[in-house]
Structure 1
Amino acid sequence: MNNLQATSSKQMIIAHDIISKIKYRQYRPGTYLPSENQLTELYGSSRETIRKALNELNDLGMIQKIKGKGSIVLDTQRYTFPISGITSFKELNNSQEMNAQTKVLHNELSQVPEYFLARGVDETQEATFLERLRSVNGEPVVLDKDYLLKPSIQGIPTKEAENSLYEYLENQLGYQISYATKEVTVESPTDEQKSLLQLIDHEMVVAVRSMTYLNDTTLVQLTESYHRPDKFKFTDFARRKKI
């Protein structure tokens, strides 16, 4: 591991530890985190690494950095699935300690769904279809349907699909995932969704459909995610950026 990777890993470990302390109310909303000097001593790290970790928390909306005073803990609810970001289920599980599991239901070749064809995807486009059921503490909460477009991707090992799809794409295939467009709707569930997500009568499902691109603008992934509305709250955090 080079110095850049080690620093990045260290800052994420520190950021996750502070998130955990905020979650368990060791650092309460409205109070200040220890100073950068104190955090440097606490974690045995450089001040630059501490600043990068705090910037991560600032961008997530966990804290507000106030010049000359420090970093105050914001009164926000715990994040689940931030709509605007591109984050894997495994990354969320690790950062939020959700005790989550993933079960692969299908891993096969498929055609692209009508929703994406209506948005310009070629109807002759073949895809590797992954259907995965996400559970938290043994309860099903999300049904993910991913379409990995060929010829960019020639199949996904089931073991990797159970672990982390993005980790496989980025670390093993060398892809650089850059951005995504997303649409969120509330819909009546299909019989399959009712059964897999254990929905009760008349309960709706939250559908999140996205198109994910590489940094060279290549469309690489289409996703339909169906969420139990009683288990996940969709939140986002926005910072003002002048244009």
Structure 2
Amino acid sequence: MKSKYDLIQQDIANKIMHHIYPANSFLPSESQLCDLYGVSRETIRKALALLLEQGYIQKIQGKGSIVLDFSRFTFPVSGIASFKELNQSEHMNSRTKLIKLEDMNVPTEVFQLDKDNLFPATYVERLRIVDSEPIVLDRDYLLKSVVTTLPKVAAEDSLYEYLEGKLGLDIGYATKMITVEPPTPHQQELLHVPDNKDVVIVRSQTYLSDTTLFQFTESIHRADKFSFSDFARRKKVKGSNRK
């Protein structure tokens, strides 16, 4: 169950994305937000801290929290979001086509794993189509040690909605690597990639909050249809001598 400040953060982020709080405007003051949501100032400050960390706002001393231009962050590399969540937040006219759902071992050569170790998994291959054009091919391997079965309806809809909502898993973090590679014939056919054109591949390993590895993912993107961006915030180093 999500905390009050998580829910408030989501509500404010949603209002920013729908331009209720437009870019370069200030959010209501902390006291106004306390009255609006009926919570303590501490709860509001935790929600604002999350918005700050995620790049939605910047705090200006003596003035409040100004809304940043979130439109730059169309496909965040460092975040963990399902395609369904991105579709809703970015208002993409998209659909998902399930290509494969079967049991197999995680391919060690793809994810640079020890060849002597087997990772039994449920393999899910899905084609993401936006405005009638295929733009990304997702290849997910859910480890059987954590996710024993995966219903077809969940594979066709949202893996994370099933994992978090139905199984109660607490998804924590992921490590990611991005490369540019020639597509395989299968990838080229599904994504309609022209000859002699490369694809962008994001390979990730995703963990639960208790550090249990549960998912390997390959996302193959048409380079002409997706751009990747991120929000970076400098963390101050206490006690350092900068010259």
Question: What SS class does the counterpart of residue 155 from structure 1 fall into?
Answer: coil
- Identity score, percent: 53
**Matched residues in 2 for 1:11 and 1:75: separation?**
17
| Structure 2 residues without counterparts, runs of 5 or longer | 238-243
1:178 matched to 2:176? The reply is: no
**Matched residues in 2 for 1:230 and 1:47: separation?**
47
**Matched residues in 2 for 1:115 and 1:242: separation?**
39
Question: Which residue, 18, 21, 39 being the options, matches 2:19?
Answer: 21
**Matched residues in 1 for 2:149 and 2:93: separation?**
28
TM-score where L is the length of structure 1: 0.83
* Counterpart contact for 2:56–2:67, Cα < 8 Å: yes
Q: 1:82 to 1:120 in 2, by over 3 A?
A: farther
Alpha-carbon displacement from aligned partner over 1:127-169 (angstroms, at most 9, x marks no partner)? 1000011122332211000011123222211111222111211
1:109 matched to 2:107? The reply is: no
* Counterpart contact for 1:14–1:50, Cα < 8 Å: no
1:59 matched to 2:53? The reply is: yes
TM-score where L is the length of structure 2: 0.83
Q: 1:60 to 1:137 in 2, by over 3 A?
A: farther
1:197 CA displacement: 1.3
**Matched residues in 2 for 1:68 and 1:122: separation?**
59
2:241 is aligned to none
Cα RMSD of the aligned pairs, angstroms, is 2.6
**Matched residues in 1 for 2:196 and 2:40: separation?**
54
Q: 1:11 to 1:126 in 2, by over 3 A?
A: same
Q: 1:82 to 1:140 in 2, by over 3 A?
A: same
1:69 is aligned to 63
**Matched residues in 2 for 1:197 and 1:238: separation?**
31
Alpha-carbon displacement from aligned partner over 1:149-204 (angstroms, at most 9, x marks no partner)? 12322221111122211121122222222221111000111111112112222221
1:220 CA displacement: 0.8
**Matched residues in 1 for 2:116 and 2:144: separation?**
12
1:169 is aligned to 163
1:204 matched to 2:190? The reply is: no
- Report runs of 4+ in structure 1 exceeding 4 Å deviation: 4-7, 36-41, 43-53
Q: 1:18 to 1:199 in 2, by over 3 A?
A: same
1:105 CA displacement: 0.8
Question: What SS class does the counterpart of residue 19 from structure 2 fall into?
Answer: helix
Q: 1:115 to 1:182 in 2, by over 3 A?
A: farther
1:210 CA displacement: 0.8
Question: Which residue, 120, 124, 141 being the options, matches 1:130?
Answer: 124
